[in-house]
Structure 1
Amino acid sequence: MSIRIGNSCVNCENLMENENCKIHGVKVSTSYTCDSFEMKAALKNDPNCTSCARYEGPTCANPQKAAPGMLCSHWAPQNAQA
């Protein structure tokens, strides 16, 4: 099995709501990926301060450091689609 960045099960259209893979029939997590990976069509791969719902707001974890192009572990997408 190959290791890939960003191809985790959380980004795969085969992930079901109960965190089971509909292809392999096993419980998975964000650490898993496989050769049957299919990227969700609505996912945008642009996580940074300007695409964060908390940017320049009262819930920003790093208001003194936040800037376009940066990312922290508190990033929240402005628009989420299922």
Structure 2
Amino acid sequence: MAIRLGNGCENCENLMENSTCKVHGVKVSSSYTCDSFEMKTALKDDRNCVTCLRYETSDCANPQKAAPQMLCSHWAPQNAMA
């Protein structure tokens, strides 16, 4: 099974403001994905310490340096679902 973080409904251009899919006509959540997925042309890119699951925890790779807007190779999204 492939993990497709970027292919959820929240990144699909078919998602309407009321969380309804305009292709399927049903309410969806952020964990949904489908074969009719169309990637939005722009994604919000908030990869920094504040949006990292490890920020201010014992798992942080750089606890003495971690700060808002800092980027590192150990970033883990806060809202990832598998």
Say yes or no: TM over 0.5: yes
Question: TM-score range with shorter-chain normalisation?
Answer: 0.5 to 0.7
**Alignment map for 1:45-64 (pairs within 5 Å):** 46-49=45-48, 62=56, 64=64
The structural deviation recorded for 1:73 is 2.3
Q: For 1:13 and 1:35, how far apart are their aligned partners in 2?
A: 13
TM-score (norm 1): 0.59
Q: Which residue of 2 aligns with 1:68?
A: 71
Deviations 1:47-80 (A, max 9, x none): 4217x6x8xxxxxx63853442234528xxxxxx
Segments of structure 2 that go 5 or more residues without pairing to the other structure are 57-62
Distance 1:43 1:24, change over 3 A: same
Segments of structure 1 that go 5 or more residues without pairing to the other structure are 55-60, 75-82
Structure 1 residue ranges (4+ consecutive) displaced by more than 3 angstroms after TM superposition: 61-67
Q: For 1:27 and 1:19, how far apart are their aligned partners in 2?
A: 6
TM-score (norm 2): 0.59
**Alignment map for 1:24-43 (pairs within 5 Å):** 24-43=24-43
Provide the identity percentage: 59
